[in-house]
Structure 1
């Protein structure tokens, strides 16, 4: 009998010892796993799931309830505009940047293209030189053609009268002499005395020059901003772009792409329909902070018949000038629009004090006379001209080169 109880006791003791060993091995294994597990960053969760401990942030002091809270960030507020943090800077990621063409070589190439075009003004001048005898009917046809080339009634009459007097005395027996007279009289209308340089001198040291670009839909305004950035980069200037056209979804993306190609940063909003004035203000503020030479602000293409939108454009300019004065307001006009373009120009000039004109699409289908007419109507010079869709098809306007191109020289 005693043998039976001895066996039972031995089995029970073995079970107790085995259980203790299993427990200790399991505990040791768990401790080993815990020691090998990598530390998690604050806020991350372990692969097994489960919340992580909250890492305390800096606090400013106790509230009336005795609980410390993080300080509120300071926010710039201008005329009730959206907070500055709505706008973000798009930093160029392109490793190989484009090398823009030098401004002088741009104009030489554009002048050759203008000389090879067949616009109405060029045809009128060419036809006049082609006739053997100039009578009253020829002069009437010549004046009519000038008017249809968007030269305008006044300038067309002036040019016709001046040519009639000079060619009546000198005659046109010598085609070279006749062309020289045409060049001189047409150059007077284009007016080489106008200052066509961009005003890129800031009002005070530390501020950037601010260029505001305006115009109606379809004139190539955003593209012009991108091309202008290339012109300035070619002149060794640091540039920042502001995408204040927040109504057209693709505008900001398009502008950022232009900037990336030449290493220019773009300030834009990630919020659809954000306040354009707020984005423009943020762009200029960043330009001041970064010490750039020029900030170019693109605005929404506004129909000149929409009074509310035109008023908003005036607001954009006023808000920008709370940070830095606008040194240049460029109005982009499609050279093919003719008289409608003149109507647009007059209304924009009333709202934002236009200081210069950019004429796009001044190619074979354009009527070159609009250069003279827009300057006469507004008293504002054409400062930049575009001939074509290439990335470097924008150049500073040169009066003598323009006339030479029109005459095929």
Structure 2
């Protein structure tokens, strides 16, 4: 019996020792420290400490909802971005008067045209003017795009006058050649652009030509010519098939204070032309310039379009001027374009652009003979004021040089 009691006591002591060992091991067990190179991460315990492990409560500052302030008038708020500045309208320019402009541009013209005049003077200065020399003179004129018929007429007159003249000094030859070239070009034609409208309607000028000849630019430069001569202008952007045409024309107009009337892209050109004339009447403008499309892929389509524009414009009053813009560098090809447009509308005047970029000044003679209308304006560069009224005397003086 005593043995049994002793065994039970020993068992209870063993159980108590084991239990105490387990509890002690639980209390002493800790995670190994992190390696020196690893950063120490402090994280809150996964669960609150309870029992013997619970620490003293931490006092935290607490505020009621009334004590929490809301952003007020003094709070800093991100400011909205300032609106983009509105671009200022370009200052209105005042072009110089056009009187004598071609004379001022003579040096630029003579640089490209001198070869024609000098070549003719050199040939005419030969001691013996045989048939070979006269053929060279003909070739020089034909190469300058004077045209076959005008060349033959000029050569025949030169033959007669040289024969009568006998001895030929350089000054006599220059005078002779100047007179004959002026006769060929013509000095009697009215080369002014008609800008006198009716009592209640402005003058209406329609500008036609193939795209690429500088038609829209010429229209803008013509506005400067008219403003320089004291005229008020309204522009009509009736070339609605080129998106850039209306923008380009409007830019030209803004530079001289001229209003530009435009319509939707690919809209009806006749409608734009009608509105432009209507606006010109309302403003009391002196001149309305209408820039038209220059598509030549079908002559029938061109004829219908320009014919409609002409008819619609004439509901307000007569069409005073139809100017055909030609690129002087195209030479005889420009005459083909001139024929097509002359069949569509009644051309009243010619504008030759890029005349400073070609030595073929004879195109002035050829195109006048082809259409029976005078050259009224010539373009002599890229500058805004490089469009000048055509003056035969200044042109011939540039051809033959000093």
Q: The TM-score by the shorter chain falls in which range? A: 0.7 to 0.9
| Partners of 2:150 and 2:184 within 8 A in 1 | yes
Residue 315 of structure 1 aligns to a residue whose secondary structure is: helix
| Partners of 1:209 and 1:326 within 8 A in 2 | yes
Relative distance call for 1:151 and 1:305 in structure 2 (3 A) is farther
| Partners of 1:207 and 1:291 within 8 A in 2 | yes
Aligned to 1:250: 244
TM-score (norm 1): 0.74
Aligned to 1:145: 140
Q: For residues 129 and 261 of structure 1, what CA distance do their matches in structure 2 show? A: 48
Trace 1:102-181 onto structure 2 (pairs within 5 A): 102-118=97-113, 121-171=116-166, 173-181=168-176
Aligned to 2:220: 226
1:307 Cα deviation after fit? 2.0
Q: Compare 111-120 and 365-374 and name the one that shifted more.
A: 111-120
| Partners of 2:207 and 2:291 within 8 A in 1 | yes
Q: Which runs of 5+ in 2 are unaligned?
A: 1-86
| Partners of 2:112 and 2:359 within 8 A in 1 | no
1:352 Cα deviation after fit? 1.1
1:306 Cα deviation after fit? 3.5
Q: For residues 225 and 216 of structure 1, what CA distance do their matches in structure 2 show? A: 13
Q: Which runs of 5+ in 1 are unaligned?
A: 1-91
Aligned to 2:332: 339
Across the two proteins, how many residue pairs are aligned to each other?
Answer: 316
Aligned to 1:215: 209
Q: For residues 195 and 331 of structure 2, what CA distance do their matches in structure 1 show? A: 29
Question: Which deviations, in whole Å up to 9, do the C-alpha atoms of 1:294-317 show, x marking residues without a partner?
Answer: 000000122164321232111111
Q: Are 1:289 and 2:289 an aligned pair?
A: no
Relative distance call for 1:144 and 1:152 in structure 2 (3 A) is same
Q: CA RMSD in A?
A: 1.7
| Partners of 2:116 and 2:359 within 8 A in 1 | no
1:95 Cα deviation after fit? 5.1
| Partners of 1:171 and 1:178 within 8 A in 2 | no
Q: Are 1:403 and 2:386 an aligned pair?
A: no
Q: For residues 382 and 334 of structure 2, what CA distance do their matches in structure 1 show? A: 20
Residue 89 of structure 2 aligns to a residue whose secondary structure is: coil
Trace 1:7-406 onto structure 2 (pairs within 5 A): 94=89, 96-118=91-113, 121-171=116-166, 173-202=168-197, 204-269=198-263, 271-303=264-296, 305-406=298-399
Aligned to 1:27: none
1:98 Cα deviation after fit? 1.7
Q: For residues 370 and 358 of structure 2, what CA distance do their matches in structure 1 show? A: 22
Residue 333 of structure 1 aligns to a residue whose secondary structure is: strand
Q: For residues 88 and 258 of structure 2, what CA distance do their matches in structure 1 show? A: 10
Residue 207 of structure 1 aligns to a residue whose secondary structure is: coil
Name the larger-Rg structure.
Answer: 2
